[in-house]
Amino acid sequence: MDNHLLQTAGQLFLDSQRVLLVSHIRPDGDAVGSLLGLGLALQAIGKDTQMILADGVPKSFRHLPGSDQIHKNPEGNFDLVVVLDCSDIQRVGPVLDGYPQPDLNIDHHITNLNFGRINLVDTKAVSTTEILAEHFQVLGLPLTRPVAATLLTGLITDTLGFRTANMTPKALRIAANLMEAGANIYTLYQQALFTRSLQAARYWGSGLATIQLEDRMLWATLTLKDREEANYPGRDDADLINILTTINGVDVALIFIEQKNNKVKVSWRAQPGFDVSEIALQFGGGGHKPAAGAEIEGSIEEVRIKVLAATRDLLNGKIKY
Amino acid sequence: MDNHLLQTAGQLFLDSQRVLLVSHIRPDGDAVGSLLGLGLALQAIGKDTQMILADGVPKSFRHLPGSDQIHKNPEGNFDLVVVLDCSDIQRVGPVLDGYPQPDLNIDHHITNLNFGRINLVDTKAVSTTEILAEHFQVLGLPLTRPVAATLLTGLITDTLGFRTANMTPKALRIAANLMEAGANIYTLYQQALFTRSLQAARYWGSGLATIQLEDRMLWATLTLKDREEANYPGRDDADLINILTTINGVDVALIFIEQKNNKVKVSWRAQPGFDVSEIALQFGGGGHKPAAGAEIEGSIEEVRIKVLAATRDLLNGKIKY
């Protein structure tokens, strides 16, 4: 990343007194981690900060230092506005309505629109916290122990524990630096990635008991009854799909999740070489090549028959891409 | 590690022509990875090698380069014998019966008995492959791409994906070096840690559907019927216990696995601060503070009542340690 840009950003931090920091709706570990990492570091050099997430802090990240300082709406005036981990400004939700263009846009998404006055965008970074950690010194920020913990959390969650296809040697070395700055990888990993409720685990159980494999297509079904019996509060699959994709010999995994009002949510996950977003699109949904979803009218049996037929066509090479 | 020792070991490699390499019974990723890593590197500098595992290569590591060269019994004479990832010589099984004291003992276990003529033991290393990778250059060995892949596999498996309590910044940096030498972390991680069969996933499902939480004690039950219906071939829990310990609010997790002949296998896992090996011992089993097991006579209902009562006593502090 351009050193001049970094120095300009560092000067902005120095010259500011009231800093507004914002990240995206439905926040993940990198949203919360980058927000807290930068916010706590700015506090450590004497700045007033407001850290904002339109949807608040998810339960699974409330152990992080400073998370109780995150609010849902900004109040008052600021002389610096920083947006973290957002590819476009809409991702922050309504919290910046009425504010001018953000001063700083710090992000790692390849789709970033460079919407800030200054854009620190590195699409090779595995997380926004990796960008912060790499350049903390040039930015004039102190890597304290709480800051290191929040930054390492973003790195762990966005890489699902150092195992995504975009992993780099640099990301591992930065994780090592954050450990040396005091972040406990064992505890943070547990807290960030292993936060299953009893209800979610029971709900998983009912789904796993139903799985079927046909050639290299695997599917599971979660009914409204399963959800009630497990007392699971969500409308989703509780991330069961991530277990399905780790089963041997599977090219495409699907989950059918029964909804109220005669609808079924369908999720697809595929190995490299398949494009499930095409099928999701056929059914009015969307997504990416390896991961897609749709909500489809019909009973669970009807939807399953139609969707499995379309997915079979994909696997049989009838859909080219 | 003492540099003189390493140089002596390097000279042994140089001076030898026929090298026997052995690792332990019931081999894990570090056993297979360290055996192949050193073996392939020695082949690359022109040595003849025999790589031996008394139990052969588990299915989940047969993707590793050179794994088809691993045999169950040594044949012929050798001028150098190397034992890898074994805390004592008995761990290799019967394969070294009749051979003299091993020349080299390379290991990271804290219980290592220094049974070799030369002992390269580093108990701070997270895996035996970490020791090899760290000192490969001093040992005069080439870090080729296949070698890097096998060494990274040991590092990933012994740390369950960089998340055990003994993780170090050094281990992360060595993993980064191995990536740069050509090891694909994404693929190796998937192959080494995500190898669940359809049968195991279904069997998990039936177990997860039964889980119960009482205070901070969680348990699941797997019956013979569950095993049959899932068509699961093992007598064990298919590692379901590792899912149970990631559920929120659990101090002690147990699994009851029904066996033939009126017996029940019980596994305990506990958070730091609890010693489940004490309970296992009461029931004729054994283990470590955080992980223990026993096989107990009785029906699943009888065993469950007795074992849960004893475990409740532990949680209520009636067992001091």
Neighbouring C-beta atoms of residue A158, cutoff 10 Å: 24
- Token pair of A32, please? 């919360």
* Minimal C-alpha gap between A241 and chain B (Å): 12
Q: Does residue A195 surpass a pLDDT of 70?
A: no
Q: For the residues A258-281, what does the mean pLDDT come to?
A: 91
Q: Which superfamily does A3-193 belong to?
A: inorganic pyrophosphatase (n-terminal core) (3.90.1640.10)
- pLDDT one-digit tens code per residue, B287-320: 778 888 999 999 999 999 999 999 998 888 755 4
A176/B170 CB distance under 8 A? yes
A200-315 has which fold?
A: Diaminopimelate Epimerase; Chain A, domain 1 (3.10.310)
For chain A, list residues whose CB is within 8 angstroms of any CB belonging to chain B: 161-165, 167-170, 172-173, 175-177, 179-180, 185-186, 189-190, 194-198, 201-202, 204-211, 213, 218, 243-244, 246-249
Cβ-nearest to A198 among B175, B205, B247: B247
A162/B190 CB distance under 8 A? no
Q: Which amino acid is at B156?
A: I
pTM score of the predicted model = 0.79
B204/A201 CB distance under 8 A? no
- pLDDT one-digit tens code per residue, A58-97: 988 999 999 999 999 999 999 999 999 999 999 999 999 9
Q: How many CA atoms lie within 13 A of A238 on its CB side?
A: 27
Torsion sign (Cα): B239, B243, B244, B246: positive
B246/A190 CB distance under 8 A? yes
Q: Does residue A260 surpass a pLDDT of 70?
A: yes
Per-residue confidence (pLDDT) for residue B190, from 0 to 100: 83
Beta-carbon contacts of A24 under 8 Å, excluding residues fewer than 6 positions away, are: A31, A53, A85, A86, A91, A92, A93
Domain boundaries, chain A: 3-193, 200-315
Chain A interface mutation, best of B134, B152, B153, B163, highest count of A Cβ atoms under 10 Å: B163
Of the candidates A88, A18, A79, A91, the residue with the CA atom closest to the CA atom of residue A53: A91
- pLDDT one-digit tens code per residue, A101-153: 999 999 999 889 999 999 999 999 999 999 999 999 999 999 999 999 999 99
> What residue in A sits closest to B230 (Cα-Cα)?
A209
- ipTM value: 0.78
Give yes or no for a contact between B130 and B136, defined as CB atoms under 8 angstroms apart. no
B199-315 has which fold?
A: Diaminopimelate Epimerase; Chain A, domain 1 (3.10.310)
Give yes or no for a contact between B159 and B133, defined as CB atoms under 8 angstroms apart. no
For chain B, list residues whose CB is within 8 angstroms of any CB belonging to chain A: 161-165, 167-170, 172-173, 175-177, 179-180, 185-186, 189-190, 194-198, 201-202, 204-211, 213, 218, 243-244, 246-249
Q: For the residues A255-265, what does the mean pLDDT come to?
A: 95
B201/A186 CB distance under 8 A? no
